[in-house]
Amino acid sequence: MTSTSNSEIECKTPADQQVYEWLIAGHTTADIRQAGAKKYPGENIDALIVSSLDKFADMASADTAVIRGWCLEAYRDLYKRMVAIGDYAGAIRAVKELARMAD
């Protein structure tokens, strides 16, 4: 499993951050337990999974304007990255989705 950076969420330890990122990436709890035990021996991986799930619950109760703003910024960032790598078809899809969200 690889790590992806997500500096928006507050995690207390590198292990906490890694478990959160593994969940975001779609890994199963069984895979996370196995990888976590290897990478972070002595850490309570199950407790870190629960902590990440609690973070998801907190985010789910966020104001809809905040979530909409985050979505708009995420699409803007994707558009910028797609243009930078020459993925113009993907950039157009991002623009179309932004236009749809603006309606």
Low-confidence ranges of the chain (pLDDT < 70): 1-9
Tell me what pLDDT residue 43 has: 94
Structure confidence at residue 2 (pLDDT):
47
Provide the pLDDT for residue 9.
Answer: 60
pLDDT score, position 25: 92
Q: What is the pLDDT of residue 1?
A: 59
At 60 the pLDDT is 83
User: Distance from first CA to last CA of the chain, Å, rounded?
Assistant: 39
